[in-house]
Structure 1
Amino acid sequence: MAERNGRTVRDLRRGNRARVLQRLYFDGPLSRHELGPVTGLSSGSISNVVAELVAEGVLEEAGSVESDGGRPRTLLRVAPASGLLIGIDIGETRVRVELFDLSLTELARAERLLAQHGYDVDRIVAHVRDCVTDVLRAAGADPGRLLGIGIGVPGLIERSVAAGGAVVHGQTIGWSGVPLERILRDTVEIPPEVPLFVDNGAKTLGQAEMWFGGGRGAATAAVALIGSGVGACVVHSATPDENARTSALEWGHTTVHIRGRRCRCGSLGCLEAYAGAEALRERWREAGGPSAADADDETALAALLAAAYPAPGADEEAGDPVALSLLGDTAEYLGAAVADLINLFRPERILLGGWAGLLLGPHLLPEVRRHATEYALHHAASRTTIELGRLGADAVTVGAATLPLSDFLTRGGSRPPKA
């Protein structure tokens, strides 16, 4: 039956279920009595929705609290065991796959290292296939319990029905119009009804930080992913259960040096050509650093930081001056680029994340802040905080898992229909 505004009774029921689930997921456990004010639903609607979700195993009891003179009130929460999620980070140094329960508690993980410049599509898809099989086997998990698989990947994402879903344009890794969703669907051994969600890795990082990390509670945040390459996203959302507007930014390919270093994208002077881990490895080698030419980005960055900041008790009293100068320049490039984010988007918070960002941050963050303040408009800069991301190197994988989780909550806890 259709309502006047075009919404059906089924739509209203699903919306009510979604409101209850979202509140319990982000703020639970809560009692039925507490759910009314925070969802705006009547006590009758709350009772009906809760009864359905408990019967389906999506909600479970989580203890009780005393009420004012009445019977104790039962607390409810989303049942962690009611579904499984997989998050995949197709990065530039490795493929990481993690299996989670519905509370995003990790159940199993698997990863495969990538050779330098090893972005062959078939090889990466094979890694994804094998890792998904590994995590399901390690946890003894039934693939039929999967609510979805989220995949974070470098590059621009387009949706194409003709191409079978998400298409990836990753210029810096040599991917041009790769129909990744269709290839994964044809290759990974999962039930056909399990949905796949492919998105930019910086966006998945941003959603994870907004839901569970340093962005929680901010109306607007810019989240940077600094790895072998550099990316960012801007998220506009006051609370995690709102329909956030998230935009992936090719921040790494904004110009910070006119006629500067050649970037992997082919342009000159990009931020990524100075602040990405691959570029730092090359700059350190060119400056005479001891890093071997074939060293991977993670090993080279660790060596650079060790040279600049010797461990306490080391023989040298001060760090290598060349390494310190290189990192000082990097802090200024990052600060100038952060100032662009401040001037363009005026976010409440800027978070620096990604595996390389989290390694560099403890050493460079004060200087990044100083330079950002110098380059940004003062009024906007005074209203922005600059911090490190809080979710660690796994944040992209966690964020990827939030893609099917968000879909599940939005659908009111309905499982994917059998194909």
Structure 2
Amino acid sequence: MAENHRRTVRDLRRGNRAAVLRRLYFQGPMSRQALGPVTGLSSGSISNVVTELAAEGLVEEAGLVESDGGRPRTLLRVAPRAGYLIGIDIGETRVRAELFDLAMTELARCELPLSGGARDIDTVVAHTARSVAAVLEESGVAVEALTGIGVGVPGIVERAPGGAVVHGQTVGWDAVPLEELLRGATGLPPATAFHISNGTVALGQAEMWYGGGRGTTDAAIVLFGSGVGACIVTDGQIHGIDHGTPAEFGHLTVQVRGRTCRCGSRGCLEAYTGAQAILRRWHEAGGPGPEEATEEHGISRLVAAARPADEGTEADPTALAILDDTAEYLAAGLSDLVNLFQPQRILIGGWAGLQLGPLLLDTIRERTRGYALHHPGRHTEITLSTLGPDAITQGAATLPLNHLLHHTTTARPPASAERLPR
């Protein structure tokens, strides 16, 4: 039997609301008159949708603009305090949570270290629950005012009837029912929406919305931290954004029968360019042991050894050689992205990428072009992420925001649900 694909009145209403809301969010403030041409809706539809959204507190007036010979027109925008977002980055060395309003203004943050790493799922869940409670307490925002909670994780996310399940092979997570565990630990109302995705995918959405990916339709956002990952964007669509599946870029084979990777395979890109692997190679070449400090501190020491702040101190040749090899492997990996996807832009992010980037970027660009096919290589720009090391947290917060902008039917309670001090 043929399926009935006719859109219902409810579908049309939801689509009209989403079209207006997205335009106001990304291009606002805008007048009702300006919304018509960019959404394709009639003036009557625009008026109905705006009236409805304003009554729910999602849209508010944002001043006046002069019109050609007529009365000034009222500008509209998405109301920043119509809802609140929590973004959580479950990294391999810490859990970081930030609370934002809808304009992505940070209102509170909490960061808790994972001394034993992300393998201890009980500690990860407990830290996440503590961080959610902390940012709600610091901000004074009521639980009922949350639009949703976004969580970036180190692994592949599978949708299941009981909630998101995470497969994080490199951190020892085998089908962890993370959403179920987080709901139990946080004790939040059942209606609270959790949106769980891979951290690299979350980073990619943040960069495309607010950072270095703006203005492109084809991009690759590469994360270098303890591990390595990539978010691929083609024709403006972020691969994996709906189901949390990243491009497992770090597990491309760059050396047959090479170093053993944390995933258990051999020769993976991550086994040469992840922060943990870089520090291990430095130690094997005579540098300090990777266990002597945090990974962030270890990479900082490596950069300082290769580029001493004191002009009278010579650069450590071993540190320089380690970084040169790292740039070589990175370039080989990036050339695969160039050849496979032909992106307009590659953005290098993650805390390790941003530490190493200023030192290695020119070398990486040159060598990537050398490995890549000439035509796509010439047309791919390689640069650094612009949102900083906290970008995964911001990207995680965009997950519930994205759902609001595309699927909203009613708003969360407006500002009266807050407990913000006057």
Q: TM-score, normalised by structure 2?
A: 0.93
**1:376 — aligned with what?**
372
Deviation at 1:347, TM superposition (A): 1.0
Cα deviation 1:302-350 (Å, max 9, x = unaligned): 0000000111x4431x311100011001001000000000111111111
Deviation at 1:187, TM superposition (A): 1.3
Distance 1:190 1:246, change over 3 A: closer
Deviation at 1:233, TM superposition (A): 1.4
Cα deviation 1:119-158 (Å, max 9, x = unaligned): 2111100000000000000001101000111100011111
Does 2:306 align with 1:315?
no
Aligned pairs for 1:271-350 (under 5 A) are: 271-291=269-289, 293-311=291-309, 313-316=310-313, 318-350=314-346
**1:259 — aligned with what?**
257
- Distance in 2 (CA, whole Å) between partners of 1:146 and 1:118 is 26
Deviation at 1:412, TM superposition (A): 3.5
**2:82 — aligned with what?**
82
Q: How many residues align?
A: 408
Q: Which moved more, 1:111-120 or 1:121-130?
A: 111-120
Coordinate RMSD, CA, aligned: 1.8
- Distance in 2 (CA, whole Å) between partners of 1:268 and 1:198 is 29
- Distance in 1 (CA, whole Å) between partners of 2:243 and 2:181 is 28
Does 2:354 align with 1:358?
yes
Please tell me whether the aligned partners of residues 234 and 247 of structure 1 are also in contact (alpha carbons under 8 angstroms).
no
Deviation at 1:103, TM superposition (A): 0.7
Give the secondary-structure state (helix, strand or coil) at the position aligned to 2:352. helix
Cα deviation 1:14-47 (Å, max 9, x = unaligned): 1101000000000000001100111000011111
Aligned pairs for 1:15-414 (under 5 A) are: 15-161=15-161, 164-238=162-236, 248-291=246-289, 293-311=291-309, 313-316=310-313, 318-412=314-408, 414=410
Distance 1:246 1:29, change over 3 A: farther
Deviation at 1:212, TM superposition (A): 0.9
Deviation at 1:220, TM superposition (A): 1.1
Give the secondary-structure state (helix, strand or coil) at the position aligned to 2:164. strand
- Distance in 2 (CA, whole Å) between partners of 1:74 and 1:17 is 19
Give the secondary-structure state (helix, strand or coil) at the position aligned to 2:292. coil
- Distance in 1 (CA, whole Å) between partners of 2:92 and 2:353 is 14
Give the secondary-structure state (helix, strand or coil) at the position aligned to 2:359. helix
1:183 is matched by which residue type in structure 2?
L
Deviation at 1:177, TM superposition (A): 0.6
Runs of 4+ in structure 1 off by over 6 angstroms are 243-246
Give the secondary-structure state (helix, strand or coil) at the position aligned to 1:16. helix
Cα deviation 1:255-284 (Å, max 9, x = unaligned): 112222111111111111111111111111
Please tell me whether the aligned partners of residues 197 and 244 of structure 2 are also in contact (alpha carbons under 8 angstroms).
no
- Distance in 1 (CA, whole Å) between partners of 2:103 and 2:369 is 38
- Distance in 2 (CA, whole Å) between partners of 1:247 and 1:381 is 26
- Distance in 1 (CA, whole Å) between partners of 2:302 and 2:404 is 43
Please tell me whether the aligned partners of residues 237 and 244 of structure 1 are also in contact (alpha carbons under 8 angstroms).
no
- Distance in 2 (CA, whole Å) between partners of 1:245 and 1:129 is 23
Please tell me whether the aligned partners of residues 348 and 383 of structure 2 are also in contact (alpha carbons under 8 angstroms).
yes
| Structure 2: gaps spanning 5 or more residues | 414-422
- Distance in 2 (CA, whole Å) between partners of 1:183 and 1:239 is 30
| Structure 1: gaps spanning 5 or more residues | none
Distance 1:338 1:166, change over 3 A: same
- Distance in 1 (CA, whole Å) between partners of 2:170 and 2:386 is 27
Deviation at 1:189, TM superposition (A): 2.6
Distance 1:239 1:117, change over 3 A: closer
1:205 is matched by which residue type in structure 2?
L
Give the secondary-structure state (helix, strand or coil) at the position aligned to 1:409. helix
Deviation at 1:415, TM superposition (A): 3.6
- Distance in 1 (CA, whole Å) between partners of 2:212 and 2:249 is 20
Please tell me whether the aligned partners of residues 236 and 246 of structure 1 are also in contact (alpha carbons under 8 angstroms).
no
Distance 1:84 1:413, change over 3 A: farther
2:190 is matched by which residue type in structure 1?
P
- Distance in 2 (CA, whole Å) between partners of 1:188 and 1:327 is 42
2:331 is matched by which residue type in structure 1?
G
Deviation at 1:285, TM superposition (A): 1.4
- Distance in 1 (CA, whole Å) between partners of 2:69 and 2:154 is 57
Indicate the percent of aligned positions where both proteins have the same amino acid: 60
Cα deviation 1:149-185 (Å, max 9, x = unaligned): 1100011111111xx1111111110000101111111
- Distance in 1 (CA, whole Å) between partners of 2:228 and 2:268 is 10
Deviation at 1:368, TM superposition (A): 0.7
Cα deviation 1:186-237 (Å, max 9, x = unaligned): 1113221011111111100111111111111211111111100111110124
- Distance in 1 (CA, whole Å) between partners of 2:112 and 2:190 is 25
- Distance in 2 (CA, whole Å) between partners of 1:415 and 1:58 is 6
- Distance in 1 (CA, whole Å) between partners of 2:409 and 2:345 is 32
